[in-house]
Amino acid sequence: MKKTFSICLIILLLSLTACKPIKVGYEETWNKIVDSGQNTVVRLVYDNDDNVDNWLEKDLVPTLRQNHNIILKCKKMSTEDIIKNLVEHKDDLENAGEFDVIIFDKTKFPVLKNKGVLYSDYLNLLKNYRQNVSPENLNNTYLGSMEINGLAVSFAEKQMCLFCDENRIIEVPTNMDEFKKCLKDNKGVFTYPHPSTEVGRNFISSIVLSFADEKKLSRKGLSDKELKSTVKPALDYLKEIKPYLFGSGNFHPEKNKDDELDLLFTEGHTQMIISMNPYIAKDKVSEDLYPEFTKSLLPFKSAVSDSTYVGIAYNSNNKSGAMLTINEMLGCDAQLKLFKNKHYLMFPAIDYEMLPKADQERFNKSSAKKTVIKPSTLMKARKHKIYDEYWDYILKEWAKL
């Protein structure tokens, strides 16, 4: 009976998911999803390399049990085995698939999409997606040059932030002009990793997108001339600050040498550091490794993010339960707990501007310590990654600075 209802529900969903502003019948449909999905077992699978397990077991599992009496069973597997399993069982109409919900990163999406193993046409029916995720959010529109087409949604973001020794940098910069002035007034206070590293690429990309339109640089279509003029202001800025960086702008640690920047800051050779770990300063101050007056900051308009995605298996036999699971993952409570989970080290993926003032205030106040940046700061600055072909050009021009 449950399976028959799920099939009917899918037909109903397909008829109602043409666009986001669904009004007629939306509440009724959502209530049917809730009725069908609660009191069920949902099977979630994620990659061996993903450290999401602590947040899942500590926060999401009990939340789903309390709110919907859903038993969430989480399983860790290699990506290869996940994809193999999904492909082998995709067209098996007699037996249910082994998974309902899949967590994956950007590198796995092209394979999952091309193999046709992800279910679509449901996101607009999720209450928290409609309330908390902007239709303008490019992280849910494109992955590189590939369109996502409603097959997945970002639930966690990795973003960079900066930290400085407030005892030595008296006027902490709050914008790009002040950041440039700070570097000029305190020569050698800062440098960033080589752009071949994740942190280095995100730093330069964030500078570029502080000057340029995110939409222009998110997918192909710009001519060489347009690309050159679009990124020129950022390259000029990077060239201007170069002489004032540590090592006169010639020291950018490459892959597997990230600890060099950490050592410089720890030993006091620099007074500012960049990291993808929002809790690094809090932890290292408590261990007496970072200066006592270390403070978080983000002086740029933009902070490029790397998304982690969640989707529904095409052959899931409990799509309504899977929808309730993803809906909870996009809720304010779950997103705040995600940020506060020191094992996962990720930032919220929902959109600050979409939230009611009361929830915005919760994110504003969620970080009381000056060593941990407020999630709302990065939520407001979040930008989509630059299209790879454009990045290749930027990297080539950066090398000429």
pLDDT of residue 5: 45
> What percentage of the chain exceeds 90 in pLDDT?
79
pLDDT score recorded for residue 9: 54
pLDDT of residue 145: 73
pLDDT at residue 49 is higher than 80: no
Which of 164-168, 279-283, 347-351 has the weakest average pLDDT? 279-283
| pLDDT score of 14 | 44
Q: Give me the pLDDT at residue 16, please.
A: 42
Phi, psi (deg, nearest 5) at residue 159 = -135, 155
* Other beta carbons less than 10 A from residue 335's beta carbon: 27
The neighbouring-strand residues paired with 274 are 162
Q: Going by C-beta distance under 8 Å and a sequence separation of 6 or more, which residues neighbour residue 225?
A: none
Extents of the domains making up the chain: 2-157+306-366, 159-304+383-398
In whole angstroms, how far apart are CA 36 and each of 10, 149, 319, 335? 11, 25, 9, 25
Per-residue pLDDT band for 367 (boundaries 50, 70, 90) equals confident
Tokens of 119: 């279910």
pLDDT of 8 higher than 70: no
**Mean pLDDT confidence for 199-224:** 95
Position 10 scores a pLDDT of: 52
Please report where in the chains the tokens 């222009």 appear, as a residue. 216
Q: Rounded distance, CA 140 to CA 384, Å?
A: 9
CATH number of 159-304+383-398: 3.40.190.10
Residue 222 has pLDDT above 70, yes or no: yes
Structure tokens given for 296 = 């978080």
Rounded to whole angstroms, how far apart are CA atoms 363 and 335? Answer: 9
Q: DSSP letters of 193-224?
A: --TTSHHHHHHHHHHHHHHS-TTTTTSS---H
Highest mean pLDDT among 21-30, 104-113, 177-186: 177-186
Provide the token pair at 247: 């090592």
Q: Calculate the CA 253 to chain-centre distance.
A: 24
Whether 21 has a pLDDT exceeding 80, the answer reads no
- Stretch 329-345: mean pLDDT: 93
Q: Which of 21-25, 36-40, 94-98, 310-314 bottoms out in mean pLDDT, i.e. has the lowest?
A: 21-25
Q: What is the mean pLDDT of the chain?
A: 91
CATH class of 2-157+306-366: alpha beta
Report, as an integer, the average pLDDT of 351-378: 90
- In sequence order, what are the residues at sequence separation of 6 or more whose Cβ sits closer than 8 angstroms to the Cβ of residue 187? 243, 244
Which of the pair, 14 or 209, is modelled with greater confidence? 209
d(CA 396, CA 231): 12
Rounded distance between C-alpha atoms, residue 132 and residue 103, angstroms: 19
Spatial CA neighbour of 159 closest among 263, 333, 284, 308? 308
Which pLDDT score is estimated for 26? 85
If pLDDT is split at 50, 70 and 90, which confidence band does 112 have?
A: very high
* pLDDT for the residue numbered 368: 66
Least confident range of 23-32, 208-217, 230-239:
23-32
Mean pLDDT of 183-190: 97
Please, are residues 103 and 50 in contact by the beta-carbon 8 Å criterion? yes
d(CA 328, CA 344): 17
